[in-house]
A and B are shown apart, each in its own frame.
Chain A
Amino acid sequence: MDRAQLPVSLLEAALGVVLILAVVLGVAVGVPAPDTREPQLEAYAEDAATILANEPPEHQNATRLAEIVASEQSFQRERGALRARTDEILPDNVMFRVETPHGDVGFPVPGNVATGEATITTSRGAVTIRVWFV
């Protein structure tokens, strides 16, 4: 009969603690962390696109970008310069890919990362810039 002296209220308290911790865990895990990276990436992509699109040309055409995507030959000739210039415009902790009607420049876009993206329309087609954090 001495075994009956085990205090039931302590058992109840242990159950209550488990219940409360479960609810708290649900709140702590269920609330998502704020996503502050994507708007910044969108801003970077948009800025890089605006700067590239408004740069004066080196040889002909209205802008530098129009000059680069004017034809297959001009794109092949200028792709190194386009890559270097985009790399220079963007901050060091950002990687990029520029997609043009004649081919792509930059790094392959990895899956599963947040990317920012901006598109510029030129007379030869759309040029899309994608950026993501390293």
Chain B
Amino acid sequence: MSERSERVQRRAQTGLPALAIALLVVTMVTGIGLAMADGAISGADREPGERRVAVSLAAGLIAPESPLTERANVLDANRLARFDETRLRTAFPVANETAVAVELDGRSVAATGETDRGTTIRRLVVVEEQTAETLEPALGWQRRVTLPRRGYRANLTLSPPPSTNITAVRANSRVALHDDDGLSGQYEIPLSRFETTTVRFSASGPLPPGSVRIEYDAIRTRKATLAVSADG
């Protein structure tokens, strides 16, 4: 074998491992590249389904016609306390297909599954609480009393002394009750939540303390955040 052909053979033998290494490197980089691209695309996945569920469920929960609300964005504390998973499923059937969780200020209200990895939408709401309060005013010479809080209605219990006839009850100059023969017993009068109410009594004689008792719904509100999460 000549010196030249020996050299050619050596060259061919170094080319083979180089080709193997080249193929290995290209295959590895292709694999890593595919994984990176896949990660980037799945990271940009907006999960439109669960986002839509969270957005529309949150909007439905605070809408005026929702089982929770008194009016738009105002939740009723009593209905909120009674709300649970069953009522959520009944009122919003989408909760059957997707795991959703409703939280108010971090406290769970109702949940139909785990939503740790899901999408969360927060809405601002006001929680309205109605408490019955009783007032037994000592009426002055003007015979009027201003209710300290606004409410939807008031219950009056009138028990005037025998010599006195209560002929009229006015709420802010609007005549709420009227009877020339004398009012006595229990009456309910509607109030406006937009203004403070002053109740005025017209009577033919003295009205000592205890002859009028007013029971009214005091409205108390507090602000809260309603968080709705959906997963799946």
Chain A interfacial positions (CB closer than 8 Å to B): 1, 4-5, 7-10, 12-13, 16-17, 20-21, 23-24, 27-28, 31-34, 36, 39-40, 43-44, 47-48, 50-51, 54, 56-57, 62-63, 88-91
Q: How far is the CB of B200 from chain A (nearest CB, A)?
A: 20
Q: 15 extra interchain contacts, Cβ-Cβ under 8 A, other than A17-B29, A27-B36? A: A7-B14, A7-B19, A9-B19, A10-B18, A24-B37, A31-B40, A31-B44, A36-B51, A39-B55, A47-B124, A48-B124, A51-B125, A51-B126, A54-B73, A63-B194
Q: How far is the CB of B88 from chain A (nearest CB, A)?
A: 20
Residues in chain A near residue B36, CB distance under 8 A: 24, 27-28
Quick check: is B22 within 8 A (CB to CB) of the other chain?
yes
Contacting pair B37 A47 (CB below 8 A): no
**Given contacts A31-B41, A31-B44, A36-B119, A89 and B30 within 8 Å (CB-CB):** no
CB nearest neighbor in A for B33: A24
Residues in chain B near residue A50, CB distance under 8 A: 72-73
A-B contact pairs, 21 of them (CB 8 A): A7-B15, A7-B19, A12-B22, A13-B23, A24-B33, A24-B37, A31-B40, A31-B41, A33-B44, A36-B51, A40-B122, A43-B122, A44-B122, A44-B124, A47-B124, A51-B126, A54-B71, A54-B73, A62-B194, A88-B223, A90-B124
Residues in chain A near residue B194, CB distance under 8 A: 56-57, 62-63
Quick check: is B171 within 8 A (CB to CB) of the other chain?
no
Contacting pair A20 B19 (CB below 8 A): no
Chain B interfacial positions (CB closer than 8 Å to A): 7, 10-11, 14-15, 18-19, 21-23, 25-26, 29-30, 33-34, 36-37, 40-41, 43-46, 51, 55, 58, 62, 71-74, 119, 121-126, 150, 193-195, 223, 225
**Total contacts A to B, CB within 8 angstroms?**
106
Q: How far is the CB of A89 from chain B (nearest CB, A)?
A: 6
Q: How far is the CB of B230 from chain A (nearest CB, A)?
A: 13
- The docked-state distance in angstroms from the alpha carbon of A17 to that of B32 is 11
- The docked-state distance in angstroms from the alpha carbon of A51 to that of B73 is 6
**Given contacts A1-B7, A32-B44, A43-B58, A51 and B124 within 8 Å (CB-CB):** yes
Contacting pair A5 B71 (CB below 8 A): no
Contacting pair A9 B72 (CB below 8 A): no
